[in-house]
Amino acid sequence: MPKQTDAEAAAVDRLARKKAKLPKRECLPTGYTLLNLGMSGRAKGGIMVGTVVLFIGDASSGKTLLAHTCLAEASISKRFGDYRLIFDNVADGALFELGFFFPSLLPRLEPPAKNKDGSPRYSTTVEDLYYHLDDAIAAGKPFVYVVDDMDTLSSQDARKKFLKDKVIARRRESGKVRFGKDGEEEKEKGSYGDGKAKKNSQHLRQIMPSLKASGSILIIICQTRDNIGAAFWEPDKTRAGGTALRFQANQEIWTSIIKPLTRKVKGNTVKVGQLSRVHIRKNRQTGGDHTIEVPMYRKGGSGIDDLGGMINFLVHWKRWSKEGEPRNPDEGKIDAPELDFVGTKDNLIRMILDRDKGHVLREVVGNVWQEVEEASKVERERRYG
């Protein structure tokens, strides 16, 4: 292991003294230590209570898996033992994930409402969403509420327009064409949107004080869209829902797929998961802009590979040395001196689990994260004290 220089030790000490003066903020763990660090600067929690967080990403990039993992962390945390865990399954997607990855979450998971026959009732319009959120606030218990997803929600305005256009189209098909006062044939009217942006702007700011007061958390999942007509300095991806979501969100998390993760089985390559990129594009907690790699496994029930991701991080920043193919973190032997271990990544993970050494790994990762943060600062004289 590279020896820590005096300058690095002094930098870590300064950072520790500085953080000791910061007020402690209660945070919900995300289930991925590096994402916690990127969001809050702390290894044990990432999403601050009383806030809104956006998970925005490409199809199958891990948005819903991340959100479910946050709910699962809340289900096993004493701090969130009295919280309602509400999943608004608007898109009716990723059906296999709950029972397969999160069996312990199921007893506490609930829909936003129920029908008279006891079946779950999910939001279908953006108005439904805010009615359900208002009901949850009125119930008087704090909650973690996940909306999956904003894009699937319609609106009452969009529904009215659809029905009106349908009537006009059916008249034309039957030959019963109508003409307006100007003599023009009756036609369907165009629209620049479905009204969600306006509704979000109106209603989201109304619930923000209640979220903060109760310590509740709202996680909104959004799909990415191509940003057609964007200038060269603008991002090539955007999302639906309007600017109010960004203004009110404490953090924006953007996900995309880097590459598939594979294993050799009987001489053949089998896809077992994916490596996703998670970009914390907006962060009111720390102001940091971090991009983190997250291994996700669909086979074996592990889901987000927290231990594997931390090991990759320590190898990347050369805290732990590795022999073998440098571009493939799953191959070669890793020297982990804090754990008194030399061997493959899979064997290292088994040892950590067997000996319950996860807390040691997280402490090392937290120290290296803070060292990198401190070393990457641009030092200038403070102009205002």
User: Sorting pLDDT into bands at 50, 70 and 90, what band is 278?
Assistant: very high
DSSP state letter for 4:
P
Domain ranges of the chain: 23-155+203-304, 159-193, 306-378
Q: Is 261 helix (H, G, I), strand (E, B) or coil?
A: strand
Is the pLDDT at 191 greater than 70? The verdict is: no
Strand partners, 344: 333
> How big, in percent rounded to 5, are the helix, strand and coil portions of the chain?
35, 25, 40
- 3-state DSSP assignment of residue 163: helix
Contact (CB, 8 A) for 87 and 144: no
**Tokens at residue 3, please?**
């020896």
The string of pLDDT tens digits covering residues 284-300 is: 999 989 999 999 998 77
| Residue 21: pLDDT over 50 | no
What distances in angstroms separate CA 53 from CA 63, 81, 132, 253, 349, one per listed residue?
12, 21, 18, 8, 31
What is the average per-residue pLDDT within 228-233?
A: 71
**Alpha carbon of residue 279 to chain centroid:** 10
pLDDT at residue number 378: 87
Q: Is the pLDDT of residue 183 over 90?
A: no
Mean pLDDT of the chain: 86
Between 60 and 157, the higher pLDDT residue: 60
Backbone phi and psi for residue 202, each to the nearest 5 degrees, phi listed first = -70, -45
Give residue 7's pLDDT. Answer: 54
Percent of the chain with pLDDT over 70: 82
Alpha helices, DSSP H only, in 215-335? 243-248, 306-316
Name which residue leads in pLDDT, 83 or 237.
83
Q: Which helix (H) or strand (E) holds 376?
A: none
Under CATH, which number does the domain 23-155+203-304 receive?
A: 3.40.50.300
pLDDT, average across residues 240-264: 93
What are the b/e assignments for 180-190, b being 16+ CB within 10 Å? eeeeeeeeeee
**Among 160-174, 245-259, 305-319, 353-367, whose mean pLDDT is lowest?**
160-174
Q: For residues 359-373, give the mean pLDDT.
A: 96
Distances, alpha carbon 150 to alpha carbons 163, 224, 227, 270, 281, in Å:
22, 11, 17, 33, 19
* Angle in degrees, CA 298, 292, 363, rounded to 5: 95
> Averaged over 222-239, what is the pLDDT?
79
> Do the Cβ atoms of 294 and 282 come closer than 8 Å?
no
Burial category of 252 from C-beta neighbours within 10 Å (exposed 0-12, middle 13-18, buried 19 and up): buried
